[in-house]
Amino acid sequence: MRMWTKLAIAGAMLVPFAGGVALAEAEPDEAIKYRKAVMQAIGGHTKASAAIITGKAGTAEDLKKHAPALYMSAMTALEAFRQNTHGQGAEKTTATEAIWTDWAGFEGKMENLVVAARNLASAAEAGNAGGEQLKALGGTCKACHDDYRTK
């Protein structure tokens, strides 16, 4: 069984237990810090994957680890934004109010991120990940950042 498939199954098995955790609202600053950590994980694994795919660093075996980690992080991203922290707390954030006023649009773009990350993980596991998957992933990041992040 492919590594990302195993990770997805493991993640799905945790869903019944996640409900209780998701119900608790964090202090706004803590919610923002958590959200930033999730997005930094996505960014870090994306940068590492790009370095490998472009031949600048790392190996195909490394990509088989980074791509599934990116996918798993992407699967947590939407939930990390569910708590509306706009105008709350002292922690700096580039998240705009549009995330919560256009939740359906934001949710759709985050779903696109998950699909693109899954496609990259699948291609990495098969040994044929390349610029096409990376470009698609980058496009999902840009689409969200253009509409839901301050410049």
Is the pLDDT at 148 greater than 90? The verdict is yes
Residues 6+ apart with CB under 8 A from 114: 71, 74, 75, 77, 78
Residues annotated in a binding site for heme c: 141, 144-145
pLDDT tens, 4-55?
556 556 555 554 444 445 547 899 999 999 999 999 999 999 999 999 999 9
Residue 128: Cβ within 10 Å count: 11
Q: Which two tokens stand for residue 10?
A: 């493991």
| Inter-CA distances, 90 with 58, 79, 96, 99, Å | 38, 21, 15, 19
Fold of 3-9+27-86+94-148: Four Helix Bundle (Hemerythrin (Met), subunit A) (1.20.120)
Residues annotated in a binding site: 141, 144-145
- What is the percentage of the chain residues whose pLDDT exceeds 70? 85
pTM of the model: 0.84
pLDDT tens, 98-114?
999 999 999 999 999 99
Domain ranges of the chain: 3-9+27-86+94-148
Q: Where does the pLDDT of residue 151 fall: very low under 50, low under 70, confident under 90, or very high at 90 and above?
A: confident
pLDDT at residue 19, as a whole number: 46
Nearest-10 Cα torsion for 29, 30, 33, 39: -120
pLDDT at residue 4, as a whole number: 54
The C-alpha angle with vertex 147 and arms to 75 and 54, in degrees rounded to 5, equals: 60
The number of residues in the chain equals 151
Specify the higher pLDDT residue, 122 or 23. 122
Maximum CA pair distance of the chain? 45
